[in-house]
Amino acid sequence: MTAHIRPDLDFIPAYVPGRSHPGAVKLASNETTIGPLPAASKAIAEAVELANRYPDNQSGELRAALAEFLGVEPANIAVGCGSVALCQELVQITCADPADEVLYAWRSFEAYPIITQVGNATAVTVPLTDEVHDLDALAAAITDRTRLVFVCNPNNPTGTAVGRAELERFLDRVPGGVLVALDEAYYEYLRMTGDHPDGVELARNRPNVVVLRTFSKAYGLAGLRVGYAVGAPEVIEALLKVHIPFSVSRVAQAAAIASLEARPELLDRTETVIAERERMRTALLAAGYRVPVSESNFLWITLGAATIDFAEASAAAGVIIRPFAGEGVRVTAGDPHENDLFLNFASDPETVARFARGA
C-alpha cells in the first residue's frame, strides 16, 4: 500500500523538467552569464577543504558583513538557502491556521502560491494593472485574516517596479500586525533615480516590513543558494527558529562573503546587463511587441494566447525563454550574442507577422 500523502498536495503541479534543447541559448532563468570572480572561486575552494565540518548555523560572519554593508545590526539579518527558502519561512512564522491568508499580486513570483499551499495557508491574489503592482487594490484586499503580504519589486516576471512614494503610501495603509515582505531579488538592477524604492530604508522604522534579497542574481551565485532577509529582530528571531538547520552551506557562506567584498566589480556588471535590456526592449518595441518598462535583468513580452507558440518557435530558433501560458514570456538579458540570437528570431518578418502585430 502506498503511504498516505497530504491530499492537498495534489493541487501543486508535479515538477516537470523543461524539455532539453542541446546547444540552445538559455535566457529563461534570470541568471548572470559570467562565472564567479577569482576571489569567490578561491573562497569556495578553501571552504571545500572543510567540507567534513558543519557550517555555522547562524551564518555569523556573513550576517556581520551584510549588517555592515547595509548599516543595520546582525540581529536584523537572517540568511537562507536562497531567498526562496526565506519566503517559505515567512509563511511558516506567520500562518498557523488554514484560514490564515497570504496576499500577493498575480502574476508574480511562481514560488508564492506553492509555498502558501505547502504552508497550509490560503492564497489571496490581486491582479496586476498593465503588468504593474496595483498597491491600492492590494491594500484593499487585506482582511483580518491576512498574515503576510508579498510585494515583489521589481516584479518577476513582468520586470516592472513601483517607486518609493507609492510603496510608503501602501505601507502606511497596512495594519501593524500584518507582515509585508518586500521581495527585492532584482534590487541591484533598479535605476529609478528620483523615487528609488530601497526596502531596507523603508523597513528601518517599520517593524512589520521585512526585505528579501539574494546572491543568486546580480551577485551571480544562483548555484550556491544563499539569500537574506532584513527586518525587525523579532521577525529575524522567528525566522531562525524555523530555519532548516545548516541549510546554508559553508561554501555558500564563504562565496557570499567574498562576493560582498568584491561587490563594486559585480555591480559594475549590472550596467552592461541594463544596457542590453534597453537595447532589446527598443528593438522589440520597434518590431511591434508590447514590452513594459523593466527595472530588472529581464523583459516581459505580452503575447496572450500566442505565448506557447512563440516560446516554442523561439526554442526552435535556438533560444529558450520562459513562457507563462495565455499571458506572455519572460526573456533574460544575457550576453550580447545570445540576445542577438533572440532578437534575430523575434524581429524576423515571419515571426513579427505571426506574433507581434495586434499583440
Ligand X SMILES: *Cc1c(COP(=O)(O)O)cnc(C)c1O
What residue ranges bind ligand X (CB under 6 A)?
Answer: 82-84, 109, 152, 156, 183, 185, 214, 216-217, 222, 227
Q: Which is nearer to ligand X, 92 or 216 (CB)?
A: 216
CB of 222 to ligand X, least distance (A): 5
Least Cβ distance, residue 225 to ligand X (angstroms): 6
Whats the size of the chain, residue-wise? Answer: 359
* Residue 62 · residue 219 · CB < 8 Å: no
Least gap, CB of 3 to ligand X (angstroms): 29
Which of these, 206, 193, 142, lies nearest to 164 by C-alpha position? 193
Of 213 and 356, the one with the shorter C-beta distance to ligand X is 213
Nearer to ligand X, 86 or 95 (CB): 86
Among all residues, whose Cβ is closest to ligand X?
82
CB of 295 to ligand X, least distance (A): 13
Give the SS3 label for residue 68. Answer: helix
Buried/exposed code over 268-305 (b: 16+ C-beta within 10 A; e: otherwise): ebbeebbebbeebbebbeebebbbbbbbbbbbbbbbee
Closer to ligand X by Cβ: residue 227 or 231: 227
Shortest Cβ 244–ligand X spacing (Å): 14
Least CB distance to ligand X at residue 211 (A) = 12
For residue 199, give the amino acid letter: G
DSSP 228: E
Complex with ligand X: residue 25 or 229, whichever CB lies closer:
229
**CB closer to ligand X, 89 vs 355:** 89
HEC secondary structure over 88-103: HHHHHHHCCCCCCEEE
The residue type at 233: P
Q: Which is nearer to ligand X, 115 or 346 (CB)?
A: 115
Per the listing, cell 568584491 goes with: 262
CA–CA dist 15, 305 (Å, integer): 23
Q: How far is the CB of 83 from ligand X (least distance, A)?
A: 4
Question: Which residues, at least 6 apart from 159, have a Cβ–Cβ distance to it below 8 Å?
Answer: 131, 186, 292, 293, 294, 295, 296, 298, 299, 300, 330
Q: In whole angstroms, what is the distance from residue 312 CA to residue 302 CA?
A: 15
